Amino acid sequence: MVGWGCLDDKTHPYFSQTILASCIVVFLEAKDMGIYDFKVRDIFGKSVDMHEFQGKVLLIVNTATGCGFTPQYEGLEALYKKYKDRGFEILDFLCNQFASQAPGSDDDIHEFCRSRYDVTFRQFSKIDVNGDNESPLYTFLKSQKKNGLTGSDIKWNFTKFLVDRDGNVTDRFSSFISPEKIEARIEETL
């Protein structure tokens, strides 16, 4: 008897119950997690604890530099400059998952965003937002009930999540919603 193939209900009657109980415990622990329980990697490779953003209003965005929505960087930067002194942060997560529209290294992308759009808000290393390798932060964000999109996959680049000062996801905006169109919601949340 080698490997897991030898374990079934007949040879180990409690095996299925143990696995089921373990899954329930993991689910319940994950359900109690909040946005501040995650660690992410910034564009320079440094580990960042999300607790750093506690008490701030966050706009979390998955981005790409070769996308039709890339000009939204301009609107994002304008929002950041206008509201950063009131406790507003934009967290930009690079993502190459949609038609490989974020080619190049993190350094290349950071330089592109700085030189082309004068981006000064926080940028983070490339991640997957869907699938087997998706970022745990994005698993959490997608699990929140917002705009009727609970648990649904991210459809494209520049999907935006608005998070209030208490760490609650208040809104999810599709790529088609420009930064300018969500300014009123940001203002209300501040």
Q: Catalytic site residues?
A: 67
Burial class (CB in 10 A: 0-12, 13-18, 19+), 160: buried
Paired strand residues for 124: 42, 93
DSSP state of 134: B
Residue pair 92/63 in contact by the 8 Å Cβ criterion: yes
Closest CA to 40 of 126, 104, 103, 105: 126
Burial 14-47 (b: 16+ CB within 10 A, else e): eeeeeeeeeeeeeeeeeeeeebeebebbbbeeee
